[in-house]
Amino acid sequence: MFIETETTPNPAALKFLPGQAVMDVGTREFASPEAAEASPLAQAIFDSGEVVNVFFGADFVSVTAAPGADWSALKPQVIAILLDHFVSEAPLFASGTAAGITVPPEDKAVVEERPEDAEVIAAINELLETRVRPAVAGDGGDIAYRGFRDGVVYLTLQGSCAGCPSSTATLKHGIESLLKHYVPEVTEVRAA
């Protein structure tokens, strides 16, 4: 087995590609060692050293190193952990924990949506799913919809995109422009 690595726009994060599916459905982010207890793989990566975020995508794992961490020492450790996991065909999640997409409290809507906005919200979600999510996944992350109210779309970047220096530009210039172009009711995109 060979695990490829790719850089991401976030200099603190690397994207690891094991050449097989990681998540069958959805994505999963672990922003702390406590959250990683649900996954032996995520927990092992956190235990390897200076890691502040582990993100599982469809066919990749993104790992974000702590400020000041040395990727030249950390990268071989992460690759070894991933190799051990995928070669042994160990389960991704601990038994008794929920696998797949999770909705922790911070993943819920940040605004109360109105029923009369349902058509606009559906158009926003369609664009996020077909145009934005694949591009963000290419950079080792994901995007979570948090709500729409009074022309404002609330989104959260996850994985390697969460702490990326260009995340504000991604939201404002990329995603906001796209949504405003196709959904005239959108006036702004804000990080939630």
Q: How far apart are CA 81 and CA 97, in angstroms?
A: 21
Q: What is the pLDDT of residues 178-189, one digit of tens each?
A: 999 999 999 999
- pLDDT value, residue 97: 59
Among the listed residues 143, 142, 145, 157, the one whose alpha carbon sits nearest the alpha carbon of residue 111: 145
Question: What is residue 126's predicted lDDT score, i.e. its pLDDT?
Answer: 94
Q: In the chain, what are the domains?
A: 4-88 (3.30.1370.70), 105-191 (3.30.300.130)
Write the pLDDT tens digit of every residue in 156-166.
888 887 777 77
Banded pLDDT at 173 (limits 50, 70, 90): confident
Joined tokens for residue 122: 């559906």
Q: What is the DSSP letter of 132?
A: I
User: What pTM did the predictor assign?
Assistant: 0.81
Per residue in 31-44, pLDDT (tens digit) is 999 999 999 999 99
pLDDT the model gives residue 171 = 81
Look at the alpha carbons of 143, 147, 151, 152 in this order and tell me if their dihedral is positive or negative: negative
Per-residue tokens: 86: 């995928």
Q: Provide, rounded to the nearest whole percent, the portion of the chain with pLDDT above 90.
A: 67
